[in-house]
Chains A and B, each alone.
Chain A
Amino acid sequence: MKAIINTVKFNLLAEWKSKFSILSVFIYIFIAILITFLSLPGIDKPLFASVFWIVMIFTTLQGISKSFINMRKGHFAYWQQIVTPFQFLASKLISNAILMFIFTIFCSILFRIIHGNIIDDNFAFLITALITGFGIASIFTISSSIAVKTDNAGMLLPVLTVPLTVPIILIGLKASKKAVDGLGFFTILPEIGLLLLLSLLITGLGLLLIKFVWKD
């Protein structure tokens, strides 16, 4: 447990030290939202949730998975000596969930500023976004741990990752459409339950199987 906390601390510190890469993700999100605004000024309610999720997936993909992709062979040898694969993946999942939390909040605030006040139920929308973001972050982490072991990780990563996120995105989209229309917090509870179940299932499966992916 202590090893997990220490590794999470280390991961976050490494992100903080390379501020430019985090900053590049923020700028990437900003540009993407600006493009959606320039191409769809006066966006309407049904479109809003879809555009939000498209921007979210494609901007955070690099930000979340770069911690794995940037690891070289020597790094793996180092980590293999000091932590077990379970601890390593758990720490990566936690630190990526924290990163995704920050990205999601930034993205929704920027959407609110640029596109104006479209969402009827801001609280429900944010809750949905955060829980869906948690699911997406766990899928990104697990599939990038597989992709990093291949010969060209950069090419293969989106192909392996993005299709796996679709079930989660579809449920999140349904819930956030309800939130945008302001149907009330209680109408999105079944979707939130399903999302939590699916993300916990995927996380559990990943933690169970990481030891087969891990060794070289």
Chain B
Amino acid sequence: MKRIPNKWFKILSILLVLYVLVYGLLIPLPSDVGMLDETIRNLFYHVPMWFGMMLIMLVAWIYSMLYLVKMNPNYDIYATELNNVGIIMGLAGLFTGMLWGFGTWGTPWTNDPKLNGVAVGMCMYGGYWLLQKSIHDNEKRARLIAVFNIFIFPLFIALIYVMPKLATFSIHPGSGDTVNFKTYNKTNNMQMVFYPAVIGWSLLFVWIAELRIRIKKLKLKKENEELFTQHIVTKHT
């Protein structure tokens, strides 16, 4: 059997996600959740997506800055792939949120600062994705997307985290004048699922990113070897 690299966090992520998927549906809820009822269980599937996305994108942002300082091509691969996985997480969070909104508000999309901020932020990261597809020179692409990423991450955080907090009116839980999930959580047993959910989902997506990073590194290595052999052949003929 072939060795699996960094096996501990993969096993941990599988165990945690399984635990969250099963126990998240079984856990007894606090008695006074109000109109949220059973939909409060979305806390275990929707919120971890955003938490994990912010963590992963923060790491990608740091790698982008490191790339500009050190000019190490590996840092560019880390930043790009972590951001790509972050975009997938953001979309997953968006769709689980829309599903919840359809049950709770009666409509998947409302005029709410948090939702609008996310829409704009996803457009920014869509631009990021297009930018990395539209430049063919490796080194130039790495520089440009690093600079663009350094710009968009603070704006994204401002849009989805700071602006909804400042807004006077919002129906999204935890922003504006709407109460947080913590308000309902008197018995603290929801946190026993919530924190493992954040860790588990993040690790699962880090795993996906790790696979893509390894593929990209191998591709880069192959390209370099081909260039090198071409160089040798032209030199000796």
Interface residues of A (CB under 8 A from B): 142-143, 146, 149-152, 156, 159-160, 162-164, 166-167, 170, 202, 205-206, 209, 212-213, 216
Contacts and interface: CB of A to CB of B under 8 A. Distances in A.
Given A142-B151, A149-B135, A167-B159, 11 more contacts: A149-B144, A156-B130, A156-B134, A160-B127, A162-B123, A163-B127, A166-B120, A167-B158, A167-B163, A202-B151, A213-B147
A190 to B, nearest CB: 11
Nearest to A160: B127
Those 9 A-B pairs whose CB atoms lie nearest each other, nearest first: A163-B123, A163-B124, A166-B120, A160-B127, A159-B127, A209-B147, A150-B134, A212-B143, A150-B135
- The B interface is mostly helix, strand or loop, or mixed, namely helix
A150 B131 contact: yes
Contacts of B144: 146, 149-150, 213
A159 B148 contact: no
Interface in B110-159: 120-121, 123-124, 126-127, 130-131, 134-136, 140, 143-144, 146-148, 150-152, 155, 158-159
Contacts of A209: 68, 147, 150
Contacts, number: 62
24 contacts: A142-B151, A143-B151, A146-B147, A146-B148, A149-B140, A150-B131, A156-B127, A156-B130, A159-B126, A159-B130, A163-B123, A163-B124, A164-B152, A164-B155, A167-B155, A167-B159, A167-B163, A209-B147, A212-B68, A212-B143, A212-B147, A213-B143, A213-B144, A213-B147
Nearest to B126: A159
A202 B150 CA distance: 11
B135 A212 contact: no
A206 B155 CA distance: 14
Contact of A170 (B146, B151, B163): B163
A99 B90 CA distance: 38
B135 to A, nearest CB: 5
Contacts of A170: 163
Q: Which of B124, B130, B147, B159 counts the most chain A CB atoms within 10 A?
A: B147
A147 B171 CA distance: 37
Nearest to A169: B120
Given A167-B159, A212-B68, A160 B148 contact: yes
